[in-house]
Amino acid sequence: MGMGGRISYEFLMTFCVLTGFISHETATFSRRPTTLDDFKNSMLLFGHEIATDTAGINVEPAGFIKAAELYNWRLIHTVAATATPSGPVTGEAWTRCADAILDAARSEQPTIDGVLLGLHGAMATEDDFDAEGLLLSQLRALLGPDIPIAVTLDLHANVTDRMVANADILCAYRTYPHVDQIATVLRAADLLERTLQGEISPYTLVARRTMLTGLDHGRTTTENPMTQLLAEADVLEARDEKLLTISLCAGFRLTDLDQAGPSVTITSDGDDLAYAVMADHFMDYAWAQRHFDSNRYLSVDACMAELKTALPETRRTLSGPIVIADHADNPGAGAYGDSTFLLKGLLDSKITNAAFATIYDPHAVRQLTDAGTGAEVSLFIGGKTDPKFGPPLFVSGRVANITDGRYQMLGPYARGSWQNLGPLVVLNIAGIDVLIASHCVQITELETFTHAGIDPRVRDVIALKSMQHFRAAFEPIASQLLIVDCGALASEDISRLPYKNLRRPIYPLDLD
């Protein structure tokens, strides 16, 4: 459409767009349900408070507002909700969030021109492990076939046929660590606006292979199958104006869902067999490269051996801390955050000038808070959710600091958001400052340490619970990164997980 068309529409049309944001990555194997309180601890906003409370934050609703300014939309704000990955979302929490969207769709139905939702794509309720598919089918039933629905997804979405059948436009993040939340919303919004203008008729299709993992977990920090396919998507999109957008999702393996796993979705202007062929080509490559993994996973023992070798040089050159990621106990993937295997390894190896974040243990936080700053205390910490992932550890230490566990995140990931670890205690155990938290949260920010009076740049060793998002803030200060797979819930070894709904046979469980 030429400039003339755009100028005339500004005088003639103001579209009304229903928006909503619900993001949760659900590990259906977790024994810890995700409650309304878990959302309240991260983000749970309704109606008008969404615009004020998300302004300037790298989160989807801030993108909705930018889009509304760009296209002169009138927005209907419903819900903005996110919680740390954990077990299935309880009925109460799901109803509260989903009904905010569905009730608005019902009551404002005559005025709604389009829908723009920010969803995760790997969310599960206690009753339906394809929560996004459920929500979108209910929304479609309310609004009918003619109202365009645009959806943004996390790069770890398990994209189901039901999601694709009930959305017109799907746009997934293209970064991991995820830093392009706003850009993704703006891509979806551009396509929605063009649809509302009658310029395009978007159609979305999906392709998968018999694989549960692949695409190097979606990492975009290295040369790998994911970044190669994203680069190819850029080239194809640039030379074909009917090819509206390509989304590559790495999937999320801790969801026991028939259609879990990596996928490609293609949104095109009109339905054309050529795009199904293109999608197959993408997934053939993903299948061929399924074994590619850019990480080197160390056992705790192997990590301690490498640490002892590397530490003298790190100390001599002052080149920054060795950062150890506790990959398998990453709360960001639904693990329990209280595994003690790595902490025990560090203590047994007598590592000092180190900091460890975090052990999730609200009970220990209360005990230590009661003891007070400066107190010498012996107690059990961690290991309380499922002791097979590292039993409670008996330690003796000094309470070095007590905080409210709240601070603004200043790294590139979720910049501007407030993180809430709940009441937090720093317990110094034989030269390791161990942060013990009341909420189970992935550690991605330097501020986790600095808010508690610890400068991570001058420590020899920083250990944290994260898989990949930590790289955004910690890679620039680290002399070296070590990735530990201690065997906790989010371990690379998924052979022990009791899948019931997943399609079989599938790589890597049955096929090689």
Binding site for Zn ion (CB under 5 A): 154, 156
* Angstrom distance (rounded) from CA 417 to CA 406: 10
Q: Which residue lies nearer to Zn ion by CB, 156 or 208?
A: 156
Minimum separation from the CB atom of position 26 to Zn ion (A): 12
Give the torsion through C-alpha atoms of 262, 268, 273, 276, to 10 deg: -10
Chain position carrying tokens 């608005």: 104
Minimum separation from the CB atom of position 343 to Zn ion (A): 26
Rg (CA), the chain: 23
Percentages helix, strand, coil for the chain (3-state, rounded to 5) are 35, 25, 40
344 phi and psi, to 5 degrees? -60, -40
* Angstrom distance (rounded) from CA 60 to CA 64: 7
CB under 8 Å to 241, separation ≥6 — which residues? 269
507 phi and psi, to 5 degrees? -80, 140
132 phi and psi, to 5 degrees? -65, -40
> What is the separation of C-alpha 383 from the centre of its chain, rounded to a whole number of angstroms?
24
CB 97 within 8 A of CB 50: no
> What is the separation of C-alpha 401 from the centre of its chain, rounded to a whole number of angstroms?
30
Q: Of all residues in this chain, which one has the CB nearest to Zn ion in the complex?
A: 156
**307 burial via Cβ count (<10 Å: 0-12, 13-18, 19+):** buried
List 393's β-bridge partners, or say none.
381
Minimum separation from the CB atom of position 217 to Zn ion (A): 9
List 176's β-bridge partners, or say none.
none
* Angstrom distance (rounded) from CA 25 to CA 178: 14
Q: Which residue lies nearer to Zn ion by CB, 156 or 439?
A: 156
* Angstrom distance (rounded) from CA 255 to CA 132: 13
Minimum separation from the CB atom of position 209 to Zn ion (A): 20
Q: Which residue lies nearer to Zn ion by CB, 17 or 89?
A: 89
Minimum separation from the CB atom of position 187 to Zn ion (A): 17
Minimum separation from the CB atom of position 259 to Zn ion (A): 17
The number of residues making up the chain comes to 512
CB 334 within 8 A of CB 386: no
Q: Which residue lies nearer to Zn ion by CB, 195 or 259?
A: 259
**227 burial via Cβ count (<10 Å: 0-12, 13-18, 19+):** buried
Minimum separation from the CB atom of position 215 to Zn ion (A): 12
Q: Which residue lies nearer to Zn ion by CB, 184 or 195?
A: 184
Q: Which residue lies nearer to Zn ion by CB, 102 or 157?
A: 157
Minimum separation from the CB atom of position 252 to Zn ion (A): 8
Minimum separation from the CB atom of position 225 to Zn ion (A): 17
Minimum separation from the CB atom of position 180 to Zn ion (A): 12
**316 burial via Cβ count (<10 Å: 0-12, 13-18, 19+):** exposed
* Angstrom distance (rounded) from CA 248 to CA 262: 8
Q: Which residue lies nearer to Zn ion by CB, 257 or 452?
A: 257
Minimum separation from the CB atom of position 169 to Zn ion (A): 20
* Angstrom distance (rounded) from CA 95 to CA 85: 18
